[in-house]
């Protein structure tokens, strides 16, 4: 008779694939994006216009708006030329290029519902095109306004991470450490950090193992200063007696996720990053960069990566 175990298997892989190859793998990029490429996905299945427009950089966003604005006006200017510029009052110019420029600027006035009154449609066809463009302009400018609001109102945690972690002396043992700071003036409270350690099960294996690391302090109520997150490397730690060479050979990665409540948006925000084995400095300790300033303290955020040599225990 086979007995069924009531003990549930505990998964700590964070939903990442445990079979990921044996060299150069990185689950999470430094900027917090997942290092995953999806192939053979239909175009309309992967299409997400709103997400792309809200998450792209401001430079790309304004470039898209300007190019879209000119493309629409060029399209309607061409339609006005096809309808006939003689059906638009005030269009001056004898050449096709001059007439097209006049139609282009009339289109720009129509789509913004500005209408200086210098140019106006005369026949039914020109009026239909102008009315259609006015309606399209109202819809598009409302959409652009919504996208601008969505970009400004989108909550995100602008947490800055040290570019490297360290293996440093901690009490009478050693510890894995990295630093984080909020460079903005907004207040983050109830900040909670989780660190997952991932590496190949053995040198040459394609399977990875994941360990949720115990932290010296996994949560702080307030986050006005710089926070050094520490994992003590004791006998229960998966890093116990693991060398720097072994971390590199087994393609180790430290995956970090930070959750906080942003008072500005009254919403919970998240931040993610990771450290690979070659981004860990052994036998170094972060330099204390907080100083007294009047009745308060001052933090040099630019020195978040500053560290010095320290003998390991």
pLDDT at 181: 94
Are residue 176 and residue 300 in the same domain, yes or no?
yes
Are residue 166 and residue 304 in the same domain, yes or no?
yes
Quote the Cα angle for 158-163-168, to 5°.
Answer: 120
What domain range includes position 243?
Answer: 160-309
β partners of residue 161:
180
pLDDT at 128: 92
CA distance 268 to 159: 13
Pairing of strands 280-282, 165-170: parallel
Are residue 196 and residue 273 in the same domain, yes or no?
yes
pLDDT at 236: 92
Are residue 191 and residue 285 in the same domain, yes or no?
yes
Are residue 239 and residue 178 in the same domain, yes or no?
yes
Are residue 143 and residue 204 in the same domain, yes or no?
no
Domain boundary among the residues 88, 122, 153 is at 153
Cα dist from 55 to 21, 127, 142, 147, 148, whole Å: 30, 38, 19, 10, 11
Are residue 143 and residue 189 in the same domain, yes or no?
no
Are residue 203 and residue 304 in the same domain, yes or no?
yes
Domain boundary among the residues 153, 176, 202 is at 153
Domain count, the chain: 2
Domain boundary among the residues 153, 186, 208 is at 153
Q: List, in order, residues 6 or more apart from 170 with CB less than 8 Å away.
A: 177, 216, 230, 232, 233, 313
26 lies in some domain:
no
Are residue 131 and residue 175 in the same domain, yes or no?
no
Q: Minimal CA–CA distance to 260: which of 222, 205, 303?
A: 222
- Give, for 256, the enclosing helix (H) or strand (E): strand 253-262
302 lies in some domain:
yes
Per-residue pLDDT of the chain (313 residues; tens, 9 = 90+): 444 445 555 566 677 766 665 567 788 888 888 777 777 888 778 888 888 888 888 999 999 999 999 999 999 999 998 988 888 887 877 888 888 998 899 899 899 888 777 888 888 988 999 999 999 999 999 999 998 888 888 777 789 999 999 999 999 999 999 999 999 888 899 999 999 999 888 766 778 889 999 999 999 999 989 999 999 999 999 999 999 999 998 889 999 999 999 988 888 999 999 999 999 999 999 999 888 888 888 989 999 999 999 999 8
54 lies in some domain:
yes
Q: Kindly tell me the burial class for residue 173, based on how many C-beta atoms sit within 10 Å of its own C-beta (0-12, 13-18, 19 or more).
A: middle
CA distance 82 to 97: 13
pLDDT at 2: 45
Burial annotation 210-234 (CB, 10 A radius, 16+ → b, else e): beebebeeeebeebeebbbbbbbbe
Are residue 70 and residue 94 in the same domain, yes or no?
yes
Q: Minimal CA–CA distance to 213: which of 151, 255, 180, 264?
A: 255
CATH for 171: 2.60.40.1400
């Amino acid at each position: 008779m086979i007995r069924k175990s009531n003990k549930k298997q505990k998964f700590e892989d964070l939903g990442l694939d445990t079979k990921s190859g044996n060299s150069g793998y990185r689950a999470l990029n430094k900027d917090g994006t997942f290092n995953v490429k999806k192939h053979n996905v239909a175009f309309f299945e992967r299409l997400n216009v709103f997400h792309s427009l809200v998450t792209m950089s401001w430079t790309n966003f304004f470039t898209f708006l300007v190019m879209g604005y000119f493309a629409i006006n060029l399209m309607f200017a061409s339609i006005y030329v096809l309808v006939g510029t003689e059906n638009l009052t005030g269009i001056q110019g004898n050449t096709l290029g001059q007439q097209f420029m006049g139609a282009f600027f009339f289109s720009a006035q129509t789509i913004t519902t500005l209408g200086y009154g210098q140019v106006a449609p005369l026949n039914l066809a020109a009026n239909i095109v102008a009315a259609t463009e006015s309606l399209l302009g109202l819809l598009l400018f409302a959409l652009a306004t919504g996208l601008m609001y969505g970009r400004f109102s989108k909550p995100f945690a602008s947490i800055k991470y040290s570019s490297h972690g360290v293996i440093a002396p901690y009490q009478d043992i050693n510890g894995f450490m990295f630093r984080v700071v909020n460079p903005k003036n907004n207040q983050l409270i109830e900040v909670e950090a989780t660190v997952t350690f991932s590496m190949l099960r053995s040198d040459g294996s394609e399977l990875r193992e994941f360990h949720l690391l115990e932290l010296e302090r996994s949560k702080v109520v307030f986050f006005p200063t710089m926070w050094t997150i520490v994992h003590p490397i004791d006998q229960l730690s998966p890093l116990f007696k693991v060398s720097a060479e072994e971390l590199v050979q087994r393609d180790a990665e430290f995956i970090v996720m930070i959750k906080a409540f942003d008072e500005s948006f009254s919403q919970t925000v998240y931040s993610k990053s990771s450290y690979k084995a070659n981004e860990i400095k052994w036998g170094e300790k972060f330099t204390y960069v907080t100083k007294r300033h009047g009745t308060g303290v001052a933090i040099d955020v630019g020195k978040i990566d500053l560290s010095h040599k320290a003998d390991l225990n």
